[in-house]
A = this chain, B = another copy of it.
């Protein structure tokens, strides 16, 4: 199967969750826009029946949209999820909860509009980030601490990415967060993915991505 990922070439963003799955599995994929530029994304989204937004995975003739849906599809094919339906549904609802968490993280710096600059919603961002760090972050962390068990799956990779991102964006707030299982998982995945993380294929966290570090938003 020929796998082609369409995602913004300058950020980790949602596409990174897909990249991590391929990299961990050691399965070849093309990161199309990184080779050919942004324009290919607009082209693929304009096809009839295309998804609403990227990431889009082209798997043979199939176009698949929405990060958790792509991982749901890839999971058993990359050895990162079992094949039985009950367990796949369970992993998928965990991934969908990670997606909700990620959206809330994005909205700490963009609470008013994703098309506006951070600078134009900074005041609102401070309020939203404060509420997120006080109420939502501990709730999510506690849920995933309790549910990070069972056989290694794409969930472990996604939770690695969440911890890395949160520590980049909110280093001070994360110091106050007890998450021994999530951090052990992060350390293990970091080791397993050392070659990828040290390569130029891994885009660094930056201020255009979902995880952004603004000192004024950190606790």
Residues of A participating in the B interface, judged by any CB pair closer than 8 Å: 48-49, 51-53, 62, 64-66, 68-69, 72-73, 85-86, 89-90, 92-93, 96-97, 100, 103, 107, 111-113, 115-116, 121, 124, 127-128, 131-132, 135-136, 140, 143, 146-147
**Contact status of A112 and B97, CB under 8 A, knowing A49-B147, A89-B64:** no
**Contact status of A69 and B96, CB under 8 A, knowing A111-B111, A112-B111, A127-B124:** yes
**Contact status of A111 and B86, CB under 8 A, knowing A69-B96, A92-B69:** no
Query: Within the assembled complex, what's the spacing in Å between the Cα atoms of A103 and B124?
Result: 18
**Contact status of A113 and B128, CB under 8 A, knowing A66-B97, A97-B52, A147-B49:** yes
Closest Cβ of chain B: how far from A58's Cβ, in Å?
A: 13
Query: Within the assembled complex, what's the spacing in Å between the Cα atoms of A124 and B121?
Result: 9
Chain B hits for A48, CB < 8 A: 146
Query: Within the assembled complex, what's the spacing in Å between the Cα atoms of A103 and B103?
Result: 9
**Contact status of A89 and B73, CB under 8 A, knowing A97-B52, A124-B124:** yes
Chain B hits for A68, CB < 8 A: 96
Closest Cβ of chain B: how far from A212's Cβ, in Å?
A: 18
Of B90, B103, B112, the contact of A131 (CB 8 Å cutoff): B112
Query: Within the assembled complex, what's the spacing in Å between the Cα atoms of A121 and B124?
Result: 9
Chain B residue with the shortest CB-CB distance to A61: B86
Whether the Cβ atoms of A128 and B111 lie closer than 8 Å is yes
Dominant secondary structure at the A interface:
helix
Whether the Cβ atoms of A86 and B69 lie closer than 8 Å is no
Whether the Cβ atoms of A62 and B49 lie closer than 8 Å is no
**Contact status of A65 and B97, CB under 8 A, knowing A73-B89, A89-B73:** yes
Chain B residue with the shortest CB-CB distance to A132: B113
Additional A-B contacts beyond A51-B93, A62-B86, A62-B89 (19; CB < 8 A):
A48-B146, A52-B97, A52-B100, A52-B140, A64-B89, A65-B93, A65-B96, A65-B97, A66-B92, A66-B96, A66-B97, A69-B89, A72-B89, A112-B127, A113-B131, A113-B132, A115-B131, A115-B135, A116-B131
